[in-house]
Each structure stands twice: as C-alpha cells, then as structure tokens.
Amino acid sequence: MYKILEKQVFSPIIKLMVIEAPKVAKKCQPGQFVILRTHEEGERIPLTIADFDREKGTITIVFQEVGKTTRRLGRLEAGDCLRDFVGPLGTPSHIENFGTVICVGGGVGVAPVFPIARALKEAGNHVIGIMGARTKELIFWEEKMREACSELFVTTDDGSYVRKGFVTDVLKDVIEERGKEQIALVLAIGPQPMMRACCNLTREYGLKTIVSLNSLMVDGTGMCGCCRVTVGGQTRFVCVDGPEFDGHQVDFAELARRNAFFLEEEKLSLERYQSSGGCSCGCGCGGGQ
C-alpha cells in the first residue's frame, strides 16, 4: 500500500498529492510517469511525476478529475492509501544544454513541465516558461514555475488573470520577439488540442517541438500495445518509447480517436460511481476505503 502523505486542492478539479513511494523516488527522472490503482477493482491509470524528493522517498502527482478513477482519487485524503503505485515508467526527458528552450504548460500540463524545466535550467539552458489555464482559479504552481524557469509568462483563456489568450498566442509572441534562430527547442505539455496547436505553430517556424502524449494505457511496460501511436509513419508504444515524442511527427488525429474509443464505458462508469454517492464499493465509505 502506498500512503498519501499530503493533499492540496488547487481547484475543485485539480489536486496534488504527495505519495510515499521510496522505490520510485530513488530512480525517477523528469518526464517519467507512474501507474496507480486506487482500489482492487480499479483501473490502472498513468500520471506524470510532477515532483519527487529522493531523501523523503516521495512522489508528487497533480491530476485533473475527468472520470471515475481520477474522481475517486480526488476523494482520498492524507493518510489514505493507494492500492498500487508503479514506476518510474517511460523514457526520461532528454536533458542537455541546448541554449534557449521554451517550456509550455497548458492546464494540468504545468505539473509535468515543472521538473523538466527545472532540469533544463540546471543543465544551463535559458528556460522561457509559458503557462496557461482556462481561467484564474485553475492556475497553480506559478511560484514554483518562476523558480524553475529563467523567465515566465502566464496567460488565461478568459483574461481573468495576467493576460487574455491561449498559450499559443504567448508562444507566437515570444518566438517573434526573440527570433526563431535564438530558440533551440520547444517543449509543450497539456491537453492534446493545445499540444497540437503548439506544434502547428512551431512547424511554421521550423522549431523542433517535444510533446508528452497521453494515450490510453493498461500495463505501461510495453506488454499490451494499447498505447500505440503513429509517429513519423511508424507505430510506437507511448509507455516505453515515450511519452515524449517529436510533436511534428505525431499523428494527433489517430491519438484522439484512440483515446475516445471507450467514451461510452467511461461515461457509464462515472454515472454509476456518482449515483452510488461517489463510492462504488457500496459500503458508504465515501470512496475512501
């Protein structure tokens, strides 16, 4: 069992948890992820490692409640335990001194961007951070990002905080202002439409762009092929070959179709969970046990 040591509620649907997982914390690198299960009948879901503390043996996850498993997770409190927690999975981010790197985090994607930005800065890069959310209340980790980056831009879709506009608007401004020759690499993590939009933009400038893909997964170790995605015309497994890929090569349309395959079942699962008072074990524990 893996204990939840700390919980922070960033917004009603975005939460942070610090999990006791020394084995994962010992070896994990920026860009890697874990797979967890909340309870015996639960699904295995992947979440990126947003931060880690090797000494304390902890892993930080930040998640957005979108369906049954993430909602159930969101109901757990410090002191509760997760059934399973395996990692670190996936190939770590490629970290070296590239020069100037732009790191874009959209929505909950800010969390996975953070450790990568920090590592890039430590490696000597000039890191320009861009973070955005739909609205002010969904912004989190602004201070942490400011520390991890050399400079940081913040934006909200509705203009309720700092400036109005999408992360792509800011990205475009930064590229135009600095000149594309000055920028070695762009990293974009967030919802698929956002990553796709970033790639469409950077393609015009010929700027290499790394994205972190959120495919469906089962085992996360290369055994099932559920996570396969077409990159540069070739089938790759996100869980072992990724999750990071050259965004200009990714077939986003295929990825979106594959991720939508179980929509009906996910909906049914969620409705069932909610109609049972948020707890599917039927014991009245409120989803906690």
Partner 1 sequence: MAELQEPKKKKEIIPKKHPMPAQDPAARVKNFDEVALGYDEETAVAEANRCLQCKKEPCRQGCPVEVEIPAFIKLIAERDFAGAIKKIKEKNALPAVCGRVCPQENQCEKYCTLGKKNEPVAIGRLERFCADWELAQGVFPQEVAPPTGFKVAVVGSGPGGLTCAADLAKLGHQVTIFEALHVPGGVLMYGIPEFRLPKRVVQAEIENLKKLGVNIEVNSVVGKFATIDELMNEEGFAAVYIGTGAGLPYFMNIPGENSCGVYSANEFLTRTNLMKAYLFPEWDTPIKIGKKVAVLGGGNVAMDAARTALRLGAEESWIVYRRSKNELPARHEEVENAIEEGVKFAFLTSPTRILADENGKVKAMECLKYELGEPDASGRRSPVPIPGSEFIMEVDTVVVAIGQGPNPLVPRTTKGLDVTKKGNIVADPATGATSKPGVFAGGDVVTGAATVILAMGAGRVAAKSIHQYLMAKKGES
Ligand X SMILES: Cc1cc2nc3c(=O)[nH]c(=O)nc-3n(C[C@H](O)[C@H](O)[C@H](O)COP(=O)(O)OP(=O)(O)OC[C@H]3O[C@@H](n4cnc5c(N)ncnc54)[C@H](O)[C@@H]3O)c2cc1C
The binding site for partner 1 (CB under 8 A) comprises 23-24, 26-27, 37, 41-44, 68-69, 83-89, 218-219, 221-226, 228-230, 235, 240, 254, 257-258, 260-262, 265-266, 268-269, 272, 280
* Distance of alpha carbon 117 from the chain centroid: 13
Binder among 6, 157, 219, 266 for ligand FES (CB under 6 A): 219
Q: Which is nearer to ligand FES, 76 or 239 (CB)?
A: 239
Note whether 218 binds ligand FES by CB under 6 A: yes
CB of 125 or CB of 215, closer to ligand FES: 215
The residue at minimum Cβ distance from ligand X is: 67
Binding flag, residue 193, ligand FES (CB under 6 A): no
One symbol per residue from 57 to 96: x for binding ligand X (CB under 6 A), - otherwise; what is it?
A: -----xxx-xxxxx--------------------------
In the list 222, 277, 284, 286, the residue contacting ligand FES (rule: CB under 6 A) is: 222
Residues within the interface to ligand FES (CB under 6 A):
217-220, 222-227, 237, 239
Residues within the interface to ligand X (CB under 6 A):
33, 43, 45-48, 62-64, 66-70, 108, 111-112, 214-217, 243, 259-260, 263, 266, 269-270
